[in-house]
């Protein structure tokens, strides 16, 4: 009995001495920009990003992903200061040039399109010239027609821009004659058209695209999750059939295979 007890004590000490592998916490920056993140500061954020993180958390137990609310203007210094570890659905060209980061191409695309009211005789030619028209824009966003200059005063002075934090507000400004053209994220517009088919009949949508972009994940240098590990998690989601339906529901484009198998 004494030998058995001694063996149990030794085994217990060895187990205590073994390192416990804790789940790594990964903080993901998010600001309100439908359909990617809708009210990320709320108790129940919505959009493709919260759903993607929930799927990643259910997939594995090595990393626990959580949303950290930021703003469209504050996100640069928040990544730099380490307030969050990475931010998704971004582009290195959207003001990140002076912020240290590592970029991972997500191979997911979206676009910006021009929207105006349907009027007698108005056709696609209406979108050829933006000068002299009042534009409704999303504040802090980088637009192709403006050379990706997001400065508020520049946009007001050169494009008679009205800046808001709502796609819906920008579309509403068209119907109230407060703007001539709104520049809307295509994925959001397609979701809007699905929800409000009758309202959508009032809008003329451009065939011309302001910009088509590929989305990236941007990581701070000391992120607990490497770009390579994150790419592997996304590939696992794709292989088990969860990723593509999520992207398709939110009208996001997968221009090519996420990763070669």
CA 24, CA 15: separation in Å to the nearest integer? 21
Q: In order along the chain (261 residues), what is the average pLDDT of each group of 10 residues? A: 42 48 91 94 95 97 97 95 97 93 95 97 96 93 91 93 94 96 96 94 96 95 96 95 94 60 38
pLDDT at 6: 46
pLDDT at 140: 87
CA distances from 38 to 3, 29, 78, 96, 165 (A): 63, 13, 19, 22, 11
Q: 110-212: which CATH architecture?
A: 3-Layer(aba) Sandwich (3.40)
Which class is domain 21-109+213-249?
A: alpha beta
CA distances from 151 to 29, 48, 141, 182, 218 (A): 22, 27, 9, 17, 22
Question: In three state form, how does the secondary structure of the chain look?
Answer: CHHHHHHHHHHHHHHHHCCCCCCEEEEEEECCECCCEECCCCCCCECHHHHHHHHHHHHCCCEEEEEEECCCCCHHHHHHHCCCCEEEEECCCCCCCCCCCEEEEEEEEEEEEEEEECCCCCCHHHHCCCCCCCEEEECCCCCHHHCCCCCHHHHHHHHCEEEECCHHHHHHHHHCCCCCEEEEEHHHHHHHHHHCHHHHCCEEEEEEEEEEEEEEEEECCCCCCCHHHHHHHHHHHHHCCCHHHHHHHCCCECCCCCCCC
Residues 6+ apart with CB under 8 A from 105: 214, 216
pLDDT at 257: 43
Q: Where in the chain is the domain with CATH 3.40.190.10?
A: 21-109+213-249, 110-212
């Amino acid at each position: 009995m004494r030998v058995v007890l001694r063996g149990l004590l030794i085994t217990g000490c060895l187990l205590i001495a073994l390192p416990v592998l804790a789940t790594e916490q990964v903080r993901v920056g998010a600001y309100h920009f439908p359909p990617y993140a809708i009210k990320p500061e709320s108790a129940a954020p919505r959009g493709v990003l919260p759903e993607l993180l929930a799927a990643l958390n259910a997939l594995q137990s090595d990393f626990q992903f959580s949303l950290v609310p930021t703003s469209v203007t504050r996100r640069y210094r928040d990544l730099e200061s380490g307030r969050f570890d990475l931010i998704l659905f971004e582009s290195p060209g959207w003001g990140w040039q002076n912020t240290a980061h590592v970029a991972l191409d997500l191979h997911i695309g979206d676009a910006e399109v021009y929207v105006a009211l349907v009027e007698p005789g108005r056709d696609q030619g209406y979108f050829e010239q933006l000068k002299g028209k009042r534009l409704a824009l999303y504040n802090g966003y980088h637009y192709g027609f403006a050379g990706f200059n997001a400065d508020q005063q520049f946009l007001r002075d050169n494009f008679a821009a009205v800046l808001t934090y709502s796609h819906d507000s920008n579309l509403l400004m068209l119907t109230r004659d407060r703007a001539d053209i709104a520049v809307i994220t295509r994925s959001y517009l397609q979701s809007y058209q699905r929800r409000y088919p009758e309202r959508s009949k009032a809008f003329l949508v451009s065939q011309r695209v302001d910009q088509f972009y590929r989305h990236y994940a941007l990581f701070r240098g000391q992120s607990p999750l490497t770009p390579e590990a994150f790419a592997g998690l996304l590939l696992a989601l794709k292989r088990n059939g969860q990723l593509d339906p999520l992207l398709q529901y939110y009208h996001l484009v997968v221009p090519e295979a996420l990763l070669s198998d």
